[in-house]
A and B are shown apart, each in its own frame.
Chain A
Amino acid sequence: MTQTPTPTPASVQGPSGASGLTEPSSNGVPRRSSLTQNTLPSWLWIAMLGGSLVLGAALSALFGFNLATWFIFTAVIYILSSYFLTRTKVNGRRATDGLWTNLVYLAFLIALMPLISVIWSVASVGIQGLMAPGFLSSDMQGITGLVDEASQTEGTPVLGGIFHALIGSLLITLAATVISVPIGLLTSIYLVEYAKGGPLSRAITFFVDVMTGIPSIVAGLFAGAAMAWFLSVFSGVTGLLTTQRSTLGITAAIALSVLMVPVVVRTTEEMLRVVPNELREASYALGVRKWRTILKVVLPTAISGIASGVTLAIARVIGETAPILVTAGFVVNTNWNLFQGWMTALPVYIFRQFQNPTSPNFSDPSEQRAWAAALVLILIVMGLNLFARLIAKFFAPKQTGR
């Protein structure tokens, strides 16, 4: 090859490339690095999204504007236009990459919609009831159909609140946690640390999986029947508690713990399994016994995951309605005693206010209370999830301390 090769941008800029990056060229505009060719300006996608939003709105207006069609048209226009623009200006590979990236984002947005929608609708409807005076601090005692009728027809303030349901939910869930955390934690310790893959551990794993799928109403019926059986045997043997009925807060707690135990076993098992074996061996090599190793090395290392798993299990059962309805019943006054009398939980309260309004003909106040209670329930569950994250963050082993 004697012919002088055609200068390429790289060969022209190459020698002075290092200094040329920062020095402005003769016309005062910073020279573009040869490495940045074949790219679109970084602001372009924002501009295109804006354009797509406007175009989508215009197209949607043709059919009578609404949010759904606006969203659909915008998405289609943006995805297609950015695909074809990248394809013509850059290359096919980048265009395909961009297309799939956009589709993934779209799927994410669609998945997010029900969540946003639920939170928005509950918050917008429920906030009014939540702001009603005494909603969090009073129960439903003395709130008759006449009171609600007066609220709806004459505009008197909506009375009644969820204090009894909050206390009920709190006590029942707390009792369920106290029952299920030790059982679940010890089960997973057995599975991870002691079981050697024998029939017992396989049976436990299998039944825990089965328990995960138990319908909650079945758990409720089981707990009710178990408590009724226990009380009849107990009173038959000792002659005490002959008039005790099985509809109690503690029965609901047992029902919830049937639902909670498998979740706790599963999450804590995962967390214990990820504790490196090296730490156990390091502890054994120091002459530490197995149970002390588990207690002082394995559990502290896994505590953040265990705590957040337990919190998520609580969040999971605090919204259960059916098992509490059939085991703890429904009352209008505040009951602090898990072992005596009926109790109301928040989801049951919501269910009852919708299904059997306090005043059948004037149901607006009941619905307002139900929505507000639903908002409180969502806030509690969100709070628990946030709490779980905080626990995971604070208890996590310190990775670096340099």
Chain B
Amino acid sequence: MSKRVDVVDLNVYYGDFLAVEGVNMNIDAQAVTAFIGPSGCGKTTLLRSLNRMHEVLPGARVKGQLLLDGEDIYESGVDPVTVRTQVGMVFQRPNPFPTMTIRENVLAGYKLNGARLSKSQSEEIVETSLRSANLWNEVKDRLDRPGSGLSGGQQQRLCIARTIAVKPDVILMDEPCSALDPISTLAIEDLIGELQQDYTVIIVTHNMQQAARVSQKTAFFNIAGTGKPGKLIEYDDTTSIFNTPQEKSTEDYVSGRFG
């Protein structure tokens, strides 16, 4: 069900601009890994290159290897669409499809790909996905209402339900709580803890308490200055990063003395 991710000598570019340089890391399956670091250090860029969403932007490209259970997703001949069915993504801002109902949003991964589902199959997928996203009790009576009518936190959980409905191996989350209030954030964090049992979860966050709460491993990224590439500074168990960091800049960042 879940797969491990190994990053080998990965460089990520926007055109000629090197955004992330020389990343090597091994991300465990069935665990939560957090990416932290200051704005513009390439966390999101690296995350987006993990399911080949990076190359959607004009001029964006990647060098190096990215192994999903030992298979390089950047090997020539690999279809990005296949990669994305295995590596799902939750975005910073909740983005349910405005033309679809809650039910259709959950089934979007199937419906948009033209898959034919029987009524019982789709009912089952909707219920299990919404239950896994801790949203079922809130929306079970209004599955046929538009998804955009939900609150921000509910919309974000709807997006998570939509992502896990297609049963990926890895779930990427790009600051999933930054647009949400503390209660919704708590709901999502609880959810991340449950998702970890079945999926490899990689989360980008600006909130260090959040990284400390939800993740087993933490990677700290930093940037030497504007226009310089972002680099992986330290990658270790979350407790070590926050309590006994090896690098000075990590210690400065996690203790709030950054800059």
Which of A276, A284, A398, A399 interacts with B84 by CB under 8 Å? Answer: A284
Distance A296 CA – B98 CA, assembled complex (angstroms): 12
Chain A residue with minimal CB distance to B110?
A286
Distance A197 CA – B145 CA, assembled complex (angstroms): 39
B163 on interface, CB distance cutoff 8 Å: yes
Complex contacts, B89 vs chain A, CB 8 Å: 281, 285
- Give B95 Cβ to nearest chain A Cβ, in Å: 4
B146 on interface, CB distance cutoff 8 Å: yes
Task: Please tell me the number of chain B residues within 8 Å of chain A, measured between CB atoms.
Answer: 33
- Give B239 Cβ to nearest chain A Cβ, in Å: 31
Distance A293 CA – B80 CA, assembled complex (angstroms): 14
Chain B residue with minimal CB distance to A395?
B99
Complex contacts, B148 vs chain A, CB 8 Å: 397-401
Distance A301 CA – B91 CA, assembled complex (angstroms): 19
Which of A278, A286, A301 interacts with B109 by CB under 8 Å? Answer: A286
B33 on interface, CB distance cutoff 8 Å: no
Judge whether B95 and A279 touch: CB under 8 Å.
Answer: yes
Task: Please tell me the number of chain A residues within 8 Å of chain B, measured between CB atoms.
Answer: 27
B65 on interface, CB distance cutoff 8 Å: no
Distance A285 CA – B89 CA, assembled complex (angstroms): 6
Complex contacts, B93 vs chain A, CB 8 Å: 278
B37 on interface, CB distance cutoff 8 Å: no
Distance A301 CA – B95 CA, assembled complex (angstroms): 13
A297 on interface, CB distance cutoff 8 Å: yes
Contacts A276-B95, A398-B149 given; indicate if A284 touches B112 (C-beta within 8 A).
Answer: no
Judge whether A285 and B163 touch: CB under 8 Å.
Answer: yes
Contacts A284-B84, A292-B114 given; indicate if A278 touches B91 (C-beta within 8 A).
Answer: yes
Which of A285, A288, A301, A400 interacts with B113 by CB under 8 Å? Answer: A288
- Give B255 Cβ to nearest chain A Cβ, in Å: 34
Judge whether B108 and A281 touch: CB under 8 Å.
Answer: no
CB-CB contacts below 8 Å: A316-344 with B: none
Distance A82 CA – B237 CA, assembled complex (angstroms): 74
A402 on interface, CB distance cutoff 8 Å: yes
Complex contacts, A279 vs chain B, CB 8 Å: 95, 97-98
Judge whether B95 and A293 touch: CB under 8 Å.
Answer: no
Which of B51, B85, B97 interacts with A282 by CB under 8 Å? Answer: B97
Contacts A278-B93, A289-B81, A296-B112 given; indicate if A284 touches B145 (C-beta within 8 A).
Answer: no
Chain A residue with minimal CB distance to B93?
A278
Distance A351 CA – B108 CA, assembled complex (angstroms): 54
Chain B residue with minimal CB distance to A196?
B58
A79-101 vs B, CB cutoff 8 Å, 1 = contact: the mask equals 00000000000000000000000
Complex contacts, A397 vs chain B, CB 8 Å: 98-99, 146, 148
Distance A399 CA – B111 CA, assembled complex (angstroms): 21
Judge whether B95 and A278 touch: CB under 8 Å.
Answer: yes
Judge whether B81 and A285 touch: CB under 8 Å.
Answer: no
- Most interface-central of A285, A286, A288 (chain B CB within 10 A): A285
Distance A280 CA – B163 CA, assembled complex (angstroms): 14
Contacts A282-B159, A288-B112 given; indicate if A301 touches B145 (C-beta within 8 A).
Answer: no
Complex contacts, B51 vs chain A, CB 8 Å: 285
Judge whether A287 and B149 touch: CB under 8 Å.
Answer: no
Contacts A287-B81, A287-B84, A289-B81 given; indicate if A297 touches B112 (C-beta within 8 A).
Answer: yes
Distance A288 CA – B108 CA, assembled complex (angstroms): 9
Complex contacts, B113 vs chain A, CB 8 Å: 286-289, 292
Distance A292 CA – B111 CA, assembled complex (angstroms): 10
Judge whether B98 and A285 touch: CB under 8 Å.
Answer: no
Complex contacts, B98 vs chain A, CB 8 Å: 279, 301, 397-399
Distance A280 CA – B114 CA, assembled complex (angstroms): 17
A102 on interface, CB distance cutoff 8 Å: no
Chain A residue with minimal CB distance to B90?
A285
Distance A196 CA – B81 CA, assembled complex (angstroms): 20
Complex contacts, A13 vs chain B, CB 8 Å: none
Could you list 15 A-B pairs, sorted by A, with CB under 8 Å?
A196-B58, A278-B95, A282-B96, A282-B159, A286-B85, A286-B88, A286-B109, A286-B162, A287-B84, A293-B112, A297-B112, A398-B146, A399-B148, A400-B149, A401-B142
Known: A285-B91, A400-B146. 14 other contacts (CB 8 A): A285-B53, A285-B88, A286-B84, A286-B166, A287-B81, A288-B112, A288-B113, A292-B113, A297-B97, A297-B99, A397-B98, A397-B99, A399-B98, A401-B148
Binding site for A on B (CB under 8 A): 51, 53, 56, 58, 81-82, 84-86, 88-89, 91, 93, 95-99, 108-109, 111-114, 142, 145-146, 148-149, 159, 162-163, 166
Binding site for B on A (CB under 8 A): 196-197, 276, 278-289, 292-293, 296-297, 300-301, 397-402
